[in-house]
Structure 1
Amino acid sequence: MENDDPALVTLKPFEYTINGAVFRVEYRDLTTISADVLVSSDDINLSMGGGVSLSLLTRGGHEIFHEAQRTTPISLGDVVLTGAGRLNAKKIFHCAVIDYSSPSSTSLEIVRAVTRKCLALCDAQGFASIAFPALATGAASLSPERSAAAMLMAIADYLSGVTQIRTITIALFPRFAPDHDVATLFYAKIADFVELARHLESTSLALAKLEQVYRELGSEKAAVATADSRRILGSRRDRLEDAFSFTEPDGSNGSTAWLGPLEDVESELERVSAAVDRQHLPSGVHESLGQQGALSARATEWLAIERQYKEERRGALRALIAIREKYVTELELRAAMHGLGDPGKPEGLDVESGALIASASSRLQWLKDQLRDLEAELRGSQELPRDRAAAARQKKRASKSARGSSKVAPTDGTATHLLHLSDLHFGDSEDARLWSSQLAEDLQVELGCARLDAVILSGDIANRSTPEEYAAARSFLDYLSAAFQLSPQQVILVPGNHDLHWGLAKKSYKLVEREDLSAPPTEGSFIDIGSGALRIRDEALYPRRFEHFARFYEDIRKEPYPLAPEAQALVYALPSQDLLVLGLNSAWNLDHHFRDRASIHPLALSRALDQIRSTAAYAPYVKIAVWHHPVASPFPDRITEHGFLERLTQAGFRLGLHGHIHRADSALFRYDRAASGRRMELLSAGTFGAPTREWVPGYPLQYQLLRLKGDSLTVETRRREEPGGTWKPDARWTTDRGKDPLPRYTVRMA
């Protein structure tokens, strides 16, 4: 390796190969590299006034600068070609990655876009080799390693297609190279992420082929489910790449920010395997798979796609395992370096470090078990895995496969189980891991509930409606979905007041002088701030305050959530349970200023009821409505207009679920005065996760399990008083004079 300064650190290049093309990262002066193209990182004026651009100018000659200036200024993200002067190259690609009038506009997405543009231009010009610096470092403030990580992801994606480029180099300035061991581990981790991204992309391609086969066979439901799985997997892959691009090699800057998105990819990859399920095939094709002799053309095509999918999933699992193994090693080394004892002995660690290592090791073993089972399938082995845990997993998968994508209808005499949670107020991923484990243990062990037919969240899922809080909620629901084999259609979500983002709400109001108004503003659409000024609501921006909730909703249910208030009454039919749930947004008219006008949008409700009334199949279903705010409360943030209850009761709804008041409660709305008349039970679940300062005196954390059997509904209430404790019976419902209260009560639904 060539260096003018003998004091510069010398590190072995990181190197990787895709489709015969080699790309590498070297700690080396870019001007000493021989390549068809050298890339310059510059501003929009191509001033070549510092860093790598100045080095190229100094060594290549001023004719490079004069030629570049004939094209300036250019736009951020543009690339300009010039000659290379005295440099050992044919061309220089000048990239505009910073605008000094707006430095914050530089981003990792700009880095990735410019990288892709340079590679495409290299191909178009017929060049076979290109060398980059770390783009957007220096004045643009990105670290070389973060820039290189973002560039490598873009390079790997580009090389997966057709290209004539054979060699790609990223040259990082060697004086600032990290410790050798740190750099080696960092780039080895990048290689694992690149390998994972490749296999995830190939998995998506296999799913696209599968979707096409389903459509040709007329299996529209399976085609839609496969398309949704492919889209969600792609979205989670993109988030993982974004998170990993923020990782620093020395462990600073939140170097584990990628762990949450990685877990999302792991969970989604396991769940997406349900799309490749022979039960989705029409009976003729499905039966031919189990017959000896010649297979039908469709069966042969199916088997080829199934094999391709499994091979790509195996590759992705191997990459995930490699990433996890390095992470466990990092945790153990970090513990050892901080004098926490022998990382191989749990007693040598502090509690937090030991818990992290144990959790990471458990996740790693889970991935290895999946890989072992999958490889047995690929070998055509009919034998069960050797250990009991794997055998249990295989039995669980077989049971899920036999049911297809939805739950089995309860047999006669079997209750329908509905889990009602409200006011979860998620904060971070640690909440998700703890709460999901505590809840599953209580349901399965204490209550003997092996099956859930639906999970209903009646609002305030987040605390401040941030993406981070919804990521934690997503992890929580992923855990529950895996534990109880829930499909996306069995998770019902409605927003609460904490699920609208106050920052987005504030941005939807624009400052206007009263004297500039051509007509008086509509009541409730402005904020009078005095001194003749108003903040007027922008009706186009106002619905976007639910944008973060809508993204979370789409992640979970794999379908969009409408931001238009008049569309926020959604019908969820669960035919296997003869159940219909109507989700309503009682916070549609709330924001940071107007906090006390909870209501149900009348047009949204009308549209939903019209849909229900015109669908004959819904007539015999048990009908449940879900919203967030109470209709009876001593506080002004309740729903004061009760006309929606009359319409729901008239339409045959017997049960209303809500939250907000942070205490379990029960009330009865009567439409008719007769004892057997139309009525609606209103149940509040209490708060599942609010901080202790927001608990109502005498009411700790609570949730409800509803058991519906025939005309009888049993409401089981549970309580938890200690953050790290267990759920217990919440005995607060009195039945008669002199009798102890019970943790459950029964409602007659007829």
Structure 2
Amino acid sequence: MRSYCRWSLLTPKLTIPNAKLRGVKLIAQATAGSWSILHISDTQFGKYHRFSGGPDSLAKRLLEDLVSLRDTVPPVRLVVLSGDITERALPSEFREATAFLKGVLEQLALTTRDVLFVPGNHDVNWKDCEAHFNQREARGLEPVAPFKPKWSKYASFRRALTGETTLHSVVHRPDLRLSAVLINSTVRESHQQHFGWCGEDQLRELAGQLREGALDLRIAILHHNVRRGATDDNENLLDEREFTRILGPYLTLVLHGHTHNGRRDYLSDGTLVLSTGSAAVSSAYRPDEVDNQYQVISFNDGQLHRWARRYAADEKRFVADSRIGPEAHPGRESIPIVGTANNSSARGPVEGVSRKARLRLGQYDEDETLRDGKSNGL
């Protein structure tokens, strides 16, 4: 397997004068070095994981497919895992996940610095959460939200892999001109209630970190669906409105999982949202019409390029997902990124109503002033 991905990871050195927070106008320049993101979600290592070890491992199937795409897909520089890494947040399941990630990173000539991941609802240990409730009750006390013991196994996994235990953060990669916002959407998950929630404190903290040092390409990564008409559906992020209001002004793209189906959507301010389906959950635990999936994303010339892949069980390999893209190029689509230098007229389905939306629609000049002479105010 050592021969799988011997692609060159070298990219041209970029010089961007006066690079600062200018919306997304510099994306075309910042991504000229052609690289890509491998986005995986809902591996759910454990009882319902589809792939066995050895020759039928998920890592082997993914890497074989990436090799088949090497003539069209730029070299992978980041691996994103958007939650539900395990089935029940057991130590044995996190060990399987660690082995999987290390194997993928090794074959792509990457390090643990190049993997970005967040917790999903399945990465919350309900038994640890219930034990916290019981221990507090035994002392005549109320449980203390957000019930931190529920994350103890995930935190150990994160520390072992990256040396960090924080459940949310902003990661800056100057070499890629990218800022990644890692969001914990399991704040209110427990053994008693199940829905996505970030909380205003977390969102404001992350927005503050972005204000201080955001780079040109800004990607938010979380687990729960951010666009499903969030009401009482346990698949949804119930504080989507606050997410959009507080973090939206600083984002280029949102990546998430949980839906078990790849789709494209937009926040109400026009920010692009992409999800991918489960990479490895067995068919009994995902919709009948939905195969296992993953996607590769790159940025160039003011556009996002997406390769959507699905697992063909009868062929034991990943193939193009024909539900994505035009008939002429099944499984591939190019999406204008609003506000870039080459696509100032592109927009999501919702008309820009905020200053940030106007920036994305090319109504600000690169010196961060409105064309009518008023201040940007970002």
Q: Same fold (TM over 0.5)?
A: yes
- Residue 573 (1) aligns with residue 192 (2): no
Q: CA deviation at 1:741?
A: 7.4
- The one of 658, 666, 669 aligned to 2:267: 669
Conservation of the 8 A alpha-carbon contact between 2:118 and 2:183: yes
The alignment status of 1:689 with 2:280, answered yes or no, reads yes
| Alpha carbons 1:662, 1:699 under 8 Å: kept | yes
Pairing 1:308-327 to 2, within 5 Å after superposition: none
State how 1:247-266 maps to structure 2 within 5 Å: none
**In the alignment, what sits opposite 1:744?**
332
Matched, 1:438 2:87: no
In structure 2, the CA distance between the partners of 1:414 and 1:513, relative to structure 1 (3 Å rule), is: closer
Q: What are the superposed Cα offsets for residues 310-352 of structure 1, whole Å, 9 maximum, x if unpaired?
A: xxxxxxxxxxxxxxxxxxxxxxxxxxxxxxxxxxxxxxxxxxx
Whether contact under 8 Å (1:443, 1:450) holds in the other structure is no
Aligned partner of 1:536 in structure 2 is: 142
Find the aligned partners of 2:325 and 2:303 in 1 and give their Cα distance. Answer: 18
Cα distance in 2 for residues equivalent to 1:432 and 1:554 = 25
Distance in 1 (alpha carbons) for counterparts of 2:233 and 2:314: 30
- 1:512 deviation in Å? 7.7
Q: Which residue identity does 2:260 align to in structure 1?
A: H
Relative to structure 1, the CA distance from residue 539 to residue 588 in structure 2 (aligned partners, 3 Å threshold; closer, same or farther) is closer
Structure with more of its chain in helix, by fraction = 1
Aligned to 1:427: 46
Partner residue in 2 for 1:636: 233
The aligned runs of 1:241-640 (5 Å cut-off) are: 408-410=10-12, 413-427=32-46, 431=52, 433=54, 434-448=57-71, 449=73, 451-510=75-134, 536-538=142-144, 542-557=147-162, 559-562=163-166, 568-596=167-195, 598-615=196-213, 618-619=214-215, 621-633=216-228, 636-637=233-234, 638-640=236-238
Q: Percent identity?
A: 22
Give 1:453 shift: 0.9
After superposition, give the CA deviation of every residue in 1:520-540 in whole Å (9 maximum; x if it has no partner): xxxxxxxxxxxxxxx831459
User: Conserved in 2, the CA contact under 8 Å of 1:716 and 1:744?
Assistant: yes
CA distance in 1, matches of 2:36, 2:74: 10
Distance of 2:333 and 2:324 partners within structure 1? 7
Alpha-carbon RMSD across the aligned residues, in angstroms, is: 3.0
Whether the 8 Å CA contact 1:734–1:741 is kept in 2: the answer is yes
Cα deviation digits, residues 137-185 of structure 1 (max 9, x gap):
xxxxxxxxxxxxxxxxxxxxxxxxxxxxxxxxxxxxxxxxxxxxxxxxx
TM-score by length of 1: 0.39
For residue 420 of structure 1, what is the amino acid of its counterpart? H
Matching of residues 174-193 of structure 1 within 5 Å: none
**1:577 partner amino acid:** L
Residues 702 and 717, structure 1, Cα contact 8 Å, conserved in 2: yes
Q: Distance in 1 between matches of 2:237 and 2:335?
A: 24
Provide the C-alpha distance between the structure 2 equivalents of 1:458 and 1:473, rounded to a whole number of angstroms.
Answer: 13
Given the superposition, is the C-alpha separation of residues 477 and 670 from structure 1 closer, same or farther in structure 2, using an over 3 Å criterion? Answer: same
How far off is 1:513 after superposition?
Answer: 8.0
Change (3 A) 1:408 1:740: closer
- Shift of residue 692, structure 1, vs aligned partner: 0.8
1:690-729 correspondence to structure 2 within 5 Å: 690-722=281-313, 725-729=316-320
Change (3 A) 1:512 1:419: closer
Structure 1 pair 411–695 and aligned structure 2 pair: CA distance change class (3 A) = farther
Amino acid at match of 1:549: Y
State how far apart, in whole Å, the 1-side matches of 2:247 and 2:306 are.
21
- Residues 571 and 513 (structure 1 numbering): CA distance in 2 closer, same or farther, change over 3 Å? closer
SS at match of 1:510: helix
Amino acid at match of 2:58: W
So what's the TM-score if we normalise by structure 2? 0.75
For residues 591-619 of structure 1, the C-alpha deviation after alignment (integer angstroms, 9 at most, x for no partner) is: 110113x211211221222122122xx34
SS of residue paired to 2:267: strand
1:44-59 mapped onto 2 (5 Å cutoff): none
Write the mapping of 1:98-113 to structure 2, written as runs, cut at 5 A: none
SS of match in other structure, 2:43: coil
AA matched with 1:556: L
Shift of 1:443: 0.4
Alpha-carbon distance change, 410 to 728 in structure 1, aligned in 2, over 3 angstroms: farther
What secondary structure sits across from 1:687 in the alignment? coil
Which consecutive residues of structure 2, in runs of 5 or more, have no partner in the other structure? 15-31, 341-378
SS of structure 1 residue aligned to 2:142: strand
Paired residue type of 1:636: D
Letter in 2 for 1:720: Y
Letter in 2 for 1:493: F
Counterpart-to-counterpart distance in 2, 1:474 and 1:723: 28
Instruction: Give the AA of the match of 2:143.
Output: R
The whole-number CA distance in structure 1 between the counterparts of 2:34 and 2:180 is 17
Pairs within 5 Å for 1:3-82: none
Q: Is the 8 A contact 1:495 1:549 kept in 2?
A: yes
CA distance in 1, matches of 2:148, 2:44: 21
Question: What is the one-letter code of the residue matched to 2:44?
Answer: H
SS of 1:418's partner is: strand
Q: Which amino acid aligns with 1:574?
A: R
Amino acid at match of 1:699: V
Q: 1:731 to 1:447 in 2, by over 3 A?
A: farther
Distance in 2 separating the partners of 1:693 and 1:715:
28
Larger Rg: 1
Q: Distance in 2 between matches of 1:724 and 1:587?
A: 36
Q: Distance in 1 between matches of 2:168 and 2:99?
A: 26
Counterpart of 1:536 in 2: which secondary structure?
Answer: coil
Mapped to 2, the partners of 1:410 and 1:506 lie a distance apart of: 52
Q: Distance in 1 between matches of 2:284 and 2:103?
A: 27
- Aligned partners of 1:499 and 1:459: how far apart in 2? 7
Distance 1:650 1:539 in 2: 29
CA distance in 1, matches of 2:100, 2:177: 27
> 3-state DSSP class of the match of 2:254?
strand
Q: What is the CA deviation profile of residues 252-280 of structure 1, one whole-angstrom value per residue up to 9, with x for unaligned ones?
A: xxxxxxxxxxxxxxxxxxxxxxxxxxxxx
Q: Does the aligned pair in 1 maintain the 2:181–2:219 contact within 8 Å?
A: yes
Q: What is the CA-CA distance between 1:493 and the residue it aligns to?
A: 0.8
- Per-residue deviation, 1:723: 8.0
Say which is worse superposed, 472-481 or 640-649, in terms of deviation: 640-649
Q: Determine helix, strand or coil for the equivalent of 1:453.
A: strand
Larger RCO: 1 or 2 (CA < 8 Å, sep 6+): 2
What is the SS of the residue equivalent to 1:628? coil
